[in-house]
Amino acid sequence: RPVDDWWRSAVVYQVYPRSFADADGNGTGDVNGIRARLPYLADLGIDAIWISPWYPSPLLDGGYDVSDYRDINPMFGTLADADALIAEAHELGLRILIDLVPNHCSWEHPWFKAALAAGKGSPERDLFWFRDGKGEDGSIPPTNWPAAFGGLAWTRIDDGQWYLHLFDVSQPDWNWDNPKVIEEFDSILRFWFDRGVDGFRIDVADSMAKDPSLPDIVPAADGAVTRDKYVGHPTYDQPAVHKIHQRWRRIADEYADTPQGPRIFVAEAWLSPADRLAMYVRPNELHSAFNFDALRCPWEADEQREVIDHTTENLWAVGAPATWVLSNHDTIRHRTRYGRDQKEAGAPAGTVPTDLELGRRRARAAALLELALPGGAYVYQGDELGLYEVEDLPEEVLDDPTWERSGHTIRGRDGCRVPIPWSGTEPPFGFGPGQGQPWLPQPADWSALTVEAEVKDPDSHLSLYKEALRIRREQEALGEGRLKWDRNCPSDVLSFTRDPGFRCVVNLGAQPYDLPAQSEVLLSSEPLDDGKLPGDTAVWLKV
Ligand code: TEU
């Protein structure tokens, strides 16, 4: 594969630094913890690591509330540690992507503090969205926009003005119509590119531009004001957002001829249908974008096929690769989703029953499907171990702002952020040195899901991932390219070939399926039964 195109078919491993590995024993993961585990990641067979925000932050939204874009959170380490991590990863052949959070910062960012102090109409306030309220006393918020974690997207301050925060009250939105904001982010990109990072994952890449006339959101038929991203929405997918991405692409391209090769972007934008998402990955914009339609798709053959076709058609039309993702730090882990009634797969933690054994089988099959599809793929830390969503965390440890802002009714995203079990038979499972407990408690039965336990077991989730990634590197057919569906299979079976000489068959139903005779099995997610593919099982064949 041409090295310049590595990102078109890369398997990228997402590290959530708080929960990955704790070198200094304070109960929170850190940069040196990641460094110590780089050999594990290289051995797993991934191409790159994406590290969720590691910047100074009060961690009111897990670090997506950044107070300094050019440093490392002291809880996680130092800039020198980050430099060492980048260098050591590169030596092992692993590329490093970091997280850029351009829609908002933390209320502890010095520019926001200065804006609060500077007062109405000041240039400092113009870096954010400060507005007077409506009504005689200005007590009616400027618009009806809801915030992501509950409540309104506007908060009133002492002098009577309101500021905009599409997410938490602690995350004021930057005003991207202000040239100083634009220049600041140019400089932040260069700061990290110059330190050697290979690219950025762009947080809420569809939201930076707002309709400056600040219209209300159009309520749904029942009058509810939701976060649905309809066409023409005042804060999502505004045409002006593309100008920002085009500008960043030019900056990344300035680095294309350095010995390190191209620097890239992956967009996080919960946008569908796929033709709207495709706008973000046109040749002069971002390189790739997570496909969340696949993440949201139930374990159902027709729907899976439709998402795959729709995604690839739209992305290929603009020359971009597909980028598959099954889980991340915001969603119910897919082992759990697939173990639920598929009509309620994405329901909040603790609200619907889950069959974890069924989820385990399907998650293994889904891994083989994802890694056989054309394009690149993301693996969220712990998915390679078959971790499930921890749905019964004690209320007193819940940390996600969703819990607080929903008035303690929605448990939020902590259940997919529980620290990784590395070794041993009881918590903290080698997450940190000694017996100190991590910031979120791990379930006792994760003793069977530690890296140490799974490395030894050829039938473990980890062994399946390693073998799949090994074969993926070896098979010319995998990675970028096209797929061809096999017609005439039962409706519950997805079967496709990739040239040269590769077939993937996934049985999403319950009835065993007769595999084509004389095919050589490269890998299967469960043992085959006399030439038959059992239900909820995937197989890779050489043809
Ligand atoms: O998430 C963006 C986002 O839109 C999510 O809130 C999404 O709607 C939701 O999680 C779907 O379940 C990003 C980060 O990934 C998330 O962790 C941050 O909280 C958010 O941005 C704000 O920075």
- In three state form, how does the secondary structure of 452-517 look? HHHHHCCCCHHHHHHHHHHHHHHCCCCCCCCCEECCCCCCCEEEEEECCCEEEEEECCCCCEECCC
Residues 6+ apart with CB under 8 A from 448: none
ipTM: 0.95
The pLDDT assigned to 262 comes to 92
Taking residue 260's Cβ as centre, other Cβ atoms within 10 Å add up to 15
Fold classified for 482-542: Immunoglobulin-like (2.60.40)
C-alpha 90 chain-centroid distance: 22
Q: Sign of dihedral through CA atoms 477, 483, 488, 492? A: positive
Closest ligand 1 atom to Cα of 331: 12
Domain assignments of the chain as residue spans, ordered by start: 3-105+179-465, 110-164, 482-542
pLDDT on residue 456: 97
Mean pLDDT within 415-429:
98
The C-alpha atoms of residue 366 and residue 371 are separated, in whole angstroms, by 8
Our mutation pick for probing the ligand 1 site, out of 64, 67, 237, 333, counting the most ligand atoms within 8 A of Cβ, is 64
Provide the annotated active-site residues.
203, 254
Instruction: Give me ligand 1 centre to Cα 112, in Å.
Output: 21
For residue 518, what pLDDT is reported? 81
Atom of ligand 1 nearest to the CA of 346: 12
Cα 345 vs. chain centroid, distance in angstroms? 18
Side chain identity at 202, as an amino acid letter? I
Residue 434 pLDDT exceeds 80: yes
Identify the burial level of 121 via C-beta atoms within 10 angstroms of its C-beta, where 0-12 means exposed, 13-18 middle and 19 or more buried: exposed
The structural architecture, per CATH, of the domain 3-105+179-465 is Alpha-Beta Barrel (3.20)
pLDDT tens profile 393-411: 999 999 999 999 999 999 9
pLDDT in tens, 257-315: 888 889 999 999 999 888 899 999 999 999 999 999 999 999 999 999 999 999 999 99
Instruction: Please provide the average confidence, as pLDDT, over all residues in the chain.
Output: 96
Give the chain's radius of gyration (CA, Å).
Answer: 23
Q: Going by C-beta distance under 8 Å and a sequence separation of 6 or more, which residues neighbour residue 460?
A: 385, 386, 453, 454
Residues 6+ apart with CB under 8 A from 97: 12, 48, 49, 50, 51, 197, 198, 199, 200, 201, 264, 266
pLDDT exceeds 50 at position 1: no
For residue 100, which amino acid is it?
L
Asked if residue 203 has its Cβ within 6 Å of ligand 1, the reply is yes
Pairing verdict, β 376-380 and 484-485: unpaired
Give whole-number Cα distances, 529 to 48, 467, 506, in Å.
Answer: 36, 20, 14
Residue to mutate (ligand 1; options 55, 290, 293, 330; most atoms within 8 A of CB): 330
Taking the centre of ligand 1 as the mean of its atom positions, its distance from the CA of residue 79, in whole angstroms, is: 26
Share of the chain above pLDDT 70, in %: 99
Give Dmax over CA atoms of the chain in angstroms: 80
Q: Does ligand 1 lie within 6 Å of residue 270's CB atom?
A: yes
Stretch 376-385: mean pLDDT, rounded? Answer: 98
Residue 529, SS3? strand
**Of 107-116, 218-227, 269-278, which one has max mean pLDDT?**
107-116
What integer pLDDT is reported at residue 241 of this predicted model? Answer: 98
The finding on whether 330 has its CB within 6 A of some atom of ligand 1 is yes
- Closest residue by Cα to atom 9, ligand 1, is 330
Q: How many Cα atoms within 13 Å fall on the side-chain side of residue 448?
A: 7
Which residues touch 408 (CB under 8 Å, ≥6 apart)?
A: 395
Substitution candidate for ligand 1 out of 167, 405, 413 with most atoms within 8 A of CB: 167
Q: List the residue whose alpha carbon is closest to atom 18 of ligand 1.
A: 64
The tokens describing 456, both together, are 């030894």
Q: What is the pLDDT of residues 367-377, one digit of tens each?
A: 999 999 999 99
Find the mean pLDDT for residues 375-403: 98
Task: Please give the pLDDT value at position 160.
Answer: 97
Our answer on whether the CB atom of 167 is closer than 6 Å to any ligand 1 atom is: yes
User: Would the pTM count as exceeding 0.95?
Assistant: yes
Q: What integer pLDDT is reported at residue 517 of this predicted model?
A: 85
Is the per-residue pLDDT at 172 higher than 50?
A: yes
Nearest CA to ligand 1 atom 4: 204
Count helices and strands (H / E) in the chain.
14, 18
Say how many Å lie between the CA of residue 64 and the centre of ligand 1: 9
Which residues share a beta bridge with 156?
162
CATH of the structural domain 110-164, one choice from 3.40.720.10, 3.20.20.70, 3.40.50.300, 3.90.400.10: 3.90.400.10
How far apart, in Å, are the Cα atoms of 133 and each of 122, 139, 210, 398?
17, 6, 18, 33
Cβ(279)–Cβ(314) below 8 Å: no
* pLDDT of 261: 87
H or E segment and range at residue 84: helix 79-91
CB of 288 closer than 6 angstroms to any ligand 1 atom = no
Residue 2 in this model has a pLDDT that exceeds 80: no
Task: Find tokens 């496909």 and name the residue.
Answer: 291
* Distance in Å from the first CA to the final CA of the chain: 22
CB 376 within 8 A of CB 10: yes
Cβ neighbours around 465 below 10 Å, total:
24
In sequence order, what are the residues at sequence separation of 6 or more whose Cβ sits closer than 8 angstroms to the Cβ of residue 249?
Answer: 265, 284, 285, 286
pLDDT for residue 3: 67
